[in-house]
Structure 1
Amino acid sequence: MEHIYYCFPGGRHKALTFSYDDGKTPDRRLVDILNRAGLKGTFNLNGDKFGRDQRIAQSEVAALYAGHEVAAHSLTHPTLTRCPREMMVRQIVDDRRRLEDIVGYAVRGFAYPNGQHTPTLHRLLPELGIAYARTTISTCGLLLPDELMTWHPTCHHREDLISRAASFLERSKSQYLDLLSVWGHSIDFDNEGNWHIIEELAAMTRGNQDVWFATNIEIVDYLAAVERLQYTAACDRVHNPSAAPVWIRIDSRASSTPQRIVEVPGGATLTLA
């Protein structure tokens, strides 16, 4: 055995995710486009703003975002970096509580309101039950987030998305894990008259079996399960202490099958040699 690589679910090496802020009424059209293409997104909401400023009604949230992720975006959308620590805590925790009462699950994702963040917030968020926080800083790359409290997306949808998506879909080097992470505000499509961007992307990716379509939290939780895998020193056995399955790829010159995709079920111990 020479190499063991971890993979996305199903043995894939590419993933696509979306993160959209504020919960404005054009989310209805955006969600419909994503649903028809089998895509998944994360929607970052303010628990005290439903039904105001072109935002959707609270009564719509659970049904509209079913199958996607609802994440926090602060209770009232202040610039948190200008607020006292006590207000930061209330803005985040109260937003989580209101959203959780609506969707019925733990809200663990976050997007920084107005894009502003500091090391103080980075340290505070995990203490308040937040697993990751998305910024508005585009990397223009396909790397996985290396710091979950500063998850920099690939690009805003207006930043040459179709060209980036085409290059992403064409990539065949499976020694890399590629993540295309798109962010924005659905109301931008209305304001800028460019719904064709997301519609074209949906058409490009619909049914693509080589890409894992996931929410932000699904990616975070999967990578955490990957990190929890326990290997022997010889890497000839692996134990998965998590409940969720994890996929790995084994490259071997000594085997009749030089490359194998192996699913490691939750709770299982497998011999790899």
Structure 2
Amino acid sequence: MGKINKIFPKGRKKAFTLSYDDGITQDKRLIKIFNKYKLKATFNLNSGLQNEAGSFVLNDLLIKRMDREEILGLYKGHEISNHGLNHLSLTSIPKEIIIEEILQDRKNHEKMFGNLVRGMAYPYGTYNKTVLEVLGILGIAYSRTVNDSGNFDLPLNYLEWNPTVHHNDPYLMDTAERFIKEEFNGLGLFYLWGHSYEFDLDNNWDVMERFCKYISNRDDIWYATNIEIVDYLDALDRLIYSTDLTLVNNPSSISTWVEYNGIPVEIKAGETKRLC
């Protein structure tokens, strides 16, 4: 009987993903950096605030939200995710308003971008049992917290998905170096998050440029959006094996990969494959 391990696409054991909030003008500069280094990100937008009236001031810096015309082509190649219709703290409002904040936000984004929108980041990082119950009913597949884990573990609960670090973490490059050098027995995931206006507040765009250059273009890392990771891991969990582990069926709509006796094997969508 062979030994089988889960792996990311093309035999990789590491994945990297990014998550940025609010849909503000600094995203334009940030996306240029991501695209330059061929990185994929998830952007969490507030559809009820995507206009000039949704702008705000923080530490004397005017944070401008983009209007709908500006954002339609900007995020091509990246994922659009929910961040609440009006960026309300979901633990401070009745359940009926929680539903409106999430469901209408999802409807608006799906209509604007013509894609399914199944992810989210919690406004202000707040959530509770009621919020989790509502998200499950409304078809939200995952939601990011603001609770940095400092590690590279896969999420135990997609609706409480803790990132690795914020980009302002003083040990950001040390964490990146640890991720690059570590040999994972299982799967390792580096999840970075933040707000692009923070680079103007802190005058540290160079930090992101340096980080992206270091983390990018590595053959052993899968660069993916949040939902791509969720869907891939779900597809891995749905693989069906024969009792002697010589056959495997992939009932999902995307290719999956496993390591069989140390050798990467692709199981294409709908395929039943003999492992030995």
Superposition TM-score, scaled by structure 2 size: 0.94
CA distance in 2, matches of 1:211, 1:26: 27
Find out whether 1:249 has 2:249 as its counterpart.
no
Q: Please show how residues 62-77 of structure 1 align to structure 2 within 5 Å.
A: 62-77=72-87
Q: Please show how residues 26-45 of structure 1 align to structure 2 within 5 Å.
A: 26-45=26-45
Residue 90 of structure 1 and its aligned partner are, at CA, apart by: 0.4
Find out whether 1:9 has 2:9 as its counterpart.
yes
Residue 158 of structure 1 and its aligned partner are, at CA, apart by: 0.8
Contact (CA 8 Å) 1:247, 1:264: kept in 2 or not? yes
The total of aligned residue pairs comes to 265
CA distance in 1, matches of 2:36, 2:271: 35
Residue 165 of structure 1 is matched in structure 2 by 176
Runs of 4+ in 1 over 4 A off after TM superposition: none
Residue 86 of structure 1 is matched in structure 2 by 96
Matched-pair identity in %: 41
Q: Which 10-residue stretch deviates more, 50-59 or 239-248? A: 50-59
Find out whether 1:260 has 2:263 as its counterpart.
yes
CA distance in 1, matches of 2:268, 2:222: 18
CA distance in 2, matches of 1:181, 1:81: 25
Residue 272 of structure 2 is matched in structure 1 by 269
Find out whether 1:223 has 2:226 as its counterpart.
no
Residue 124 of structure 1 and its aligned partner are, at CA, apart by: 1.2
Question: Secondary structure, in 3 states, of the residue corresponding to 2:154?
Answer: coil
Q: Which runs of 5+ in 1 are unaligned?
A: 252-258
Find 1:122's aligned residue among 104, 126, 132. Answer: 132
Contact (CA 8 Å) 1:108, 1:132: kept in 2 or not? yes
Contact (CA 8 Å) 2:2, 2:245: kept in 1 or not? no
Residue 98 of structure 1 and its aligned partner are, at CA, apart by: 1.0
Q: Please show how residues 133-212 of structure 1 align to structure 2 within 5 Å.
A: 133-159=143-169, 160-173=171-184, 175-212=185-222
1:144-197 residue CA offsets vs partner (Å, 9 max, x unmatched): 111011000001111121111111111233x22110001110001110111112
Question: Secondary structure, in 3 states, of the residue corresponding to 1:133?
Answer: coil
* Root mean square deviation of aligned Cα: 1.0
Q: Which runs of 5+ in 2 are unaligned?
A: 56-63
CA distance in 2, matches of 1:47, 1:88: 15
Question: Secondary structure, in 3 states, of the residue corresponding to 2:35?
Answer: helix
Contact (CA 8 Å) 1:161, 1:197: kept in 2 or not? no
1:180-239 residue CA offsets vs partner (Å, 9 max, x unmatched): 001110001110111112101111123211110000000000011101100012111100
Contact (CA 8 Å) 2:51, 2:65: kept in 1 or not? yes
Contact (CA 8 Å) 2:150, 2:164: kept in 1 or not? yes
Residue 255 of structure 1 is matched in structure 2 by none
Question: Secondary structure, in 3 states, of the residue corresponding to 1:222?
Answer: helix
Residue 100 of structure 1 and its aligned partner are, at CA, apart by: 1.0
CA distance in 2, matches of 1:241, 1:176: 23
Residue 51 of structure 1 and its aligned partner are, at CA, apart by: 2.4
Question: Secondary structure, in 3 states, of the residue corresponding to 2:47?
Answer: coil
Superposition TM-score, scaled by structure 1 size: 0.95
CA distance in 2, matches of 1:62, 1:144: 31
Q: Which amino acid letter does the alignment assign opposite residue 270 of structure 1?
A: K
Residue 103 of structure 1 and its aligned partner are, at CA, apart by: 0.8
CA distance in 2, matches of 1:61, 1:100: 13
